[in-house]
């Protein structure tokens, strides 16, 4: 009897996993309730509902310590401090992302096309990319919600 129960649990467990693999778009995928439990209300609103934090409210806006910025939801490295600059917009800004770890889409939320960016590992929303970045480097301005990031110092 005991063995039968264990066997049943194994079968159910495997089935759950294989279903997950075929339907999930992202390597890290969680139910809404799980994200809600893991993140604060404000983090959930920005990362999972594509919200925007108020300008000049992030402690990371004018933060220039050496290190990397990882996804608040899944800790994938997304940006390097070497590529951070002060855009004056009120949001943490970078002239480039860590290639392959950030994915892009087009959003028409405010009436015209903007390039939205999100974590390539978990799909969480990060911000938008604009073409008014530093001309001497990439010309790109990755305008990122500070609340979507976690800073890891180099040391
Ligand atoms: Fe992520």
Q: Is the pLDDT of residue 12 over 60?
A: no
Going by the DSSP 8-state scheme, the letter that residue 53 receives in this structure is P
Q: How far is the CA of 119 from the centre of ligand 1 (A)?
A: 5
What is the structure's pLDDT at 94?
98
Q: Is the dihedral of CA 12, 14, 16, 19 positive or negative?
A: negative
Q: How far is the CA of 8 from the centre of ligand 1 (A)?
A: 33
What is the structure's pLDDT at 19?
42
Q: Is the pLDDT of residue 16 over 50?
A: no
Q: What percent of the chain has pLDDT over 70?
A: 85
d(CA 90, CA 88) in angstroms, rounded, equals 6
**Which spans in the chain are helix H?**
2-23, 32-38, 41-47
36 or 17: which leads in pLDDT: 36
Q: Is the pLDDT of residue 11 over 50?
A: no
Out of 71, 74, 122, 143, pick the active-site residue.
143
- Per-residue confidence band for 155, with pLDDT thresholds at 50, 70 and 90: confident
Assess whether 71 carries a catalytic annotation.
Answer: no
Give 81-98 pLDDT, tens digit per residue: 999 999 999 999 999 999
- Per-residue confidence band for 109, with pLDDT thresholds at 50, 70 and 90: confident
Average of pLDDT values for 75-82? 98
- Per-residue confidence band for 1, with pLDDT thresholds at 50, 70 and 90: low
What is the structure's pLDDT at 87?
98
Q: How far is the CA of 1 from the centre of ligand 1 (A)?
A: 42
Give 20-37 pLDDT, tens digit per residue: 444 578 999 999 999 999
The CATH topology of domain 32-153 is: 2.170.150
What is the structure's pLDDT at 24?
74
Q: Is the pLDDT of residue 121 over 80?
A: yes
CB atoms within 10 A of CB 82: 12
Q: How far is the CA of 79 from the centre of ligand 1 (A)?
A: 12
Write down the domain spans for the chain: 32-153
């Amino acid at each position: 009897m005991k063995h039968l129960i264990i066997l049943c649990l194994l079968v159910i467990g495997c089935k759950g996993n294989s279903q997950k693999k075929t339907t999930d778009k992202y390597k890290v995928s969680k139910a809404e309730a799980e994200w809600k439990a893991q993140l604060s209300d404000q983090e959930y609103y920005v990362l999972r509902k594509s919200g925007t934090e108020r300008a000049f409210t992030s402690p990371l806006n004018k933060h220039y310590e050496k290190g990397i910025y990882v996804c608040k939801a899944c800790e994938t490295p997304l940006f390097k401090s070497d590529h951070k600059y002060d855009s004056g917009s009120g949001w943490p800004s970078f002239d480039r992302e860590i290639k392959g770890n950030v994915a892009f889409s087009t959003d028409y939320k405010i009436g015209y096309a903007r390039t939205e960016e999100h974590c390539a590992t978990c799909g969480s929303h990060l911000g938008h990319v604009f073409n008014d970045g530093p001309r001497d480097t990439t010309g790109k301005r990755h305008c990122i919600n500070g609340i979507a990031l976690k800073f890891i110092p180099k040391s």
